[in-house]
Structure 1
Amino acid sequence: MQIYSARHYDLEGAFKEFQDETGITVEFISGSDAELLQRIKAEAADGEADVFMTVDAGALWNAGQEGVLKPIESAALADAVPADLRDSGNQWFGLAMRARTTMYNPDKVKPTDFDATSTYAGLADPKWKDRLCMRDSTSAYTQSLVASLIGLDGYDKTLATVKGWVANNVDIKSNDVELLKAIDAGTCDVGITNHYYLARELKKNANLKVTPFWASQAGAGTHVNISGAGVVKTSDNAAQAQQLIEWLATKGQSSFVDGNHEYPVNESVKPEPVIAEFGEFTRMPLSAEAYGSKNADAVKLLSEAGYK
């Protein structure tokens, strides 16, 4: 069985476990979301892809819109995956969840400093001027966050938020690890990263001076995105492909998410110990359509705001 995967995190353990349990051999073709989707379309009926796996809800939505995925009926997936983390037409299903939230240096920021600015828009408050680090505008993480805010608040309000970040002399970092290290070093006091990067760094250095603050708990909730998968419409192994996706969402859920410190989508599965220490949070309902259809608007807005 062939998986066309844009997910580059540690996968070996989970899929070896699946192979050992079922006898089904799993092979990977890796690439970006766009590359793999284009390849599936170009190969059409002659292709070998059985599963399309990606790390962004917008990319999953786009794959559904392009008509390359096969709707499947699965009581196991309907039970394991919350409704907003799967396609309403059963073309794709979320399998792992990541939260993108505020991080801060506890030596320089108190949790009470967030009382009046606990949302993403709150980082536009002048109190954070010359204290804020964030990711670059080309990052899919930045674009999905901004797309979700457009879906939630509208274009004009989100533009004002991003302009506020820019006005605060936001220090742009090229990756989340660099951003976390800057917070730890005191180069900036607050920033926004995916939660699992902090978990990785804490495994290396338990004394890292970075603490997560769950954004927008009194509002829409913390922004999340998903890794997920769907069965390719032209698959010759559709039953096995469905079996794999069901296994990843149920029996194999911990094996799939724990190695990268991601949150399980299956609410009956507990998060692994490092991220469990971060505490519980209310997540923003995920709109894959907003992430996908509003991505171009997000790119335009970032440019209009002067966000680099």
Structure 2
Amino acid sequence: MRLPFLALALATTALPALAEEINVYSHRQPELIQPLVDAFTAETGITVNVAFVDKGMAERLVAEGDRSPADLVLTVDIARLTQIVDAGVTQAVQSDVLEANIPETLRDAGDQWFGLTSRARIVYASKDRVAPGEVTTYEDLADPKWQGRICIRSGTNDYNVALVAAMIAHHGEDYARTWLEGVKANLARKPDGGDRDQVKAIAAGECDIAVGNTYYIGQMLKDPEQQAAAEAVRIDFPVFEGDGTHLNVSGIAMTKAAPNREAALKFMEWLSGDEAQRIYAETNSEFPVKPGVAKSELVASWGEFTPDSMALTEVAKLRPDALKLVEQVDFDG
């Protein structure tokens, strides 16, 4: 009798997986990717077993070593992707399909990870208290006109660290430090909660604008208990001066141990294709990474924007410097 994958994933040793099955460690809740799994299996006959791993994915793969049952890892944010790669538990994947479908700025230069969807780090703005077009650039968030009007989650959060790293990449460390100090001076309250909490704070009148990811609005609009708060804000797409809007990704990587490499590669390539990109973006209110794939109706309603041209690999290199700046200015203090 075959053991469930979750039982295998909890063990430090594992039997080889059956043919035409692949095992995935996912940082994303299984229900978010189940529509993709179902569609892939229906098309190929390959079973996809998913184990939700909320924390310590890299450490777990290191501990399992060559005996890991995992073929692939699905996770969010450039920080988590690079952490897994830096742990030495992934392998390079050369694929003409992946290279054709995924823009160079949204995949690893060494072919260790590949972006599957993108999300913009944008501004939630009060529809009542902030005029359209009033928010223009990330640099503008440090302007004293926003004093006492900004909400944001912890500066050490991965999404915010990535934004600071991108600011360093565009303007240098000294500028980024001054900018961070300016944003801190404009906060309506100490950084706290998640992105959804910032939306709720705007709706409650605690602040007028907040920094967050686009897709949280999509998730809140589908929740009757959070819908009213989401409807109280507008999504504005600020840009870096002279460039575009900051993006981050959900992405995938193949493990070094991958016992089912051929089938795992099929899944990676399929996820980058038209059908999967449409399903993934529709389910999670994110942006497809493959050019030409239509956004969901909701996401399209937020408007058009120009993505930042800075490669995420360049942003990832500056994350340690960004985190150091956040701590030096005591952003959360």
Q: Provide Cα deviations, 1:141-183, integer angstroms capped at 9, x if missing partner.
A: 1111112212222111111111001112342231111111121
What TM-score do the two structures reach when normalised by structure 1? 0.92
Partner of 1:95: 116
1:194 aligned partner: 213
What's 1:239 paired with?
A: 262
- Residues 106-130 of structure 1: per-residue CA shift (max 9 Å, x gap): 211112433xxx2112111111111
Per mean C-alpha deviation after superposition, the further-off stretch among 74-83 and 194-203 is 194-203
Q: 2:247 aligns with which of 189, 211, 224?
A: 224
Number of the residue aligned with 2:199: 180
Shift of 1:301: 0.9
Given that residues 60 and 288 in structure 1 are in contact (C-alpha distance below 8 angstroms), is that contact kept between their aligned partners in structure 2?
Answer: no
| Per-residue deviation, 1:199 | 2.0
The 2-side partners of 1:267 and 1:157 are apart by 33
Q: Residue 331 of structure 2 aligns with which residue? A: 307
User: SS at 1:122's partner residue?
Assistant: helix
Separation (CA, whole Å) in 1 of partners of 2:131 and 2:175: 27
Asked if 2 retains the 8 angstrom alpha-carbon contact of 1:2 and 1:51, the reply is yes
Q: What amino acid maps onto 1:162 in structure 2?
A: L
Q: Structure 1 residues 91 and 141, CA, compared in 2 at 3 Å: closer, same or farther?
A: same
The offset of 1:32, in angstroms, is: 4.0
SS of structure 2 residue aligned to 1:108:
coil
Please tell me whether residue 273 in structure 1 is matched to residue 297 in structure 2. Answer: yes
Q: 2:71 is matched by which residue type in structure 1?
A: D
Structure 2 equivalent of residue 106 of structure 1: 127
1:283 to partner: Cα distance: 0.9
Give 1:62-73 correspondences, 5 Å limit.
62-73=83-94
Distance 1:124 1:253 in 2: 36
**1:297 partner amino acid:** D
Aligned to 2:280: 256
**RMSD, aligned CA:** 1.9
SS in 2 for 1:149: helix
Aligned-partner Cα distance in 2 for 1:240–1:18: 11
SS state at 2:51 partner: strand
Partner of 1:24: 46
* Residue type at the aligned position of 2:98: L
Find the aligned partners of 1:230 and 1:113 in 2 and give their Cα distance.
Answer: 39
Does the aligned pair in 2 maintain the 1:104–1:212 contact within 8 Å?
yes
Where 1:252 maps in the other structure, the secondary structure is helix
Unaligned runs of 5+ in 2: 1-21
In structure 1, the residue corresponding to 2:196 is in which secondary structure?
helix
Hey, what's the Cα distance between the residues in 2 that align with 1:304 and 1:61?
23
1:1-33 deviations in whole A, cap 9, x for unaligned?
111111236111111111122111111222246
Q: Which residue of 1 aligns with 2:13?
A: none
Range moving further from structure 2, 187-196 or 144-153: 144-153
Q: Distance in 2 between matches of 1:217 and 1:21?
A: 42
- Pick which of 36-45 and 200-209 moved more: 200-209
1:70/1:232 contact within 8 Å kept: yes
Structure 1 residue identity aligned to 2:101: A
Q: Which blocks of at least 5 consecutive residues in structure 1 are unaligned?
A: none
CA contact (8 A) 1:53 1:230 kept: yes
> Which amino acid in structure 2 is aligned with residue 181 of structure 1?
K
Runs of 4+ aligned residues of structure 1 deviating over 6 Å after TM superposition are none
Match of 1:159 in 2: 177
2:138 counterpart residue number: 120
**Residue in 1 aligned with 2:104?**
83
* Distance apart, 1:216 and its partner CA: 1.3
Is the CA contact (8 Å cut-off) linking 2:155 and 2:331 kept in structure 1?
A: yes
Q: Distance in 2 between matches of 1:12 and 1:106?
A: 35
Structure 1 stretch 197-206 or stretch 53-62: which is displaced more? Answer: 197-206
Tell which deviates more after alignment, 64-73 or 142-151.
64-73
Partner SS for 1:181: helix
Report what 1:209 is aligned to.
Answer: 232
SS of aligned partner of 1:4: strand
Tell me, in whole angstroms, the C-alpha distance in 2 between the residues paired with 1:150 and 1:49.
Answer: 35
Residue identity matched to 1:161:
W
Deviation at 1:289, TM superposition (A): 3.1
SS at structure 2 position matched to 1:29? strand
Cα pair distance change 1:39/1:241, threshold 3 Å:
same
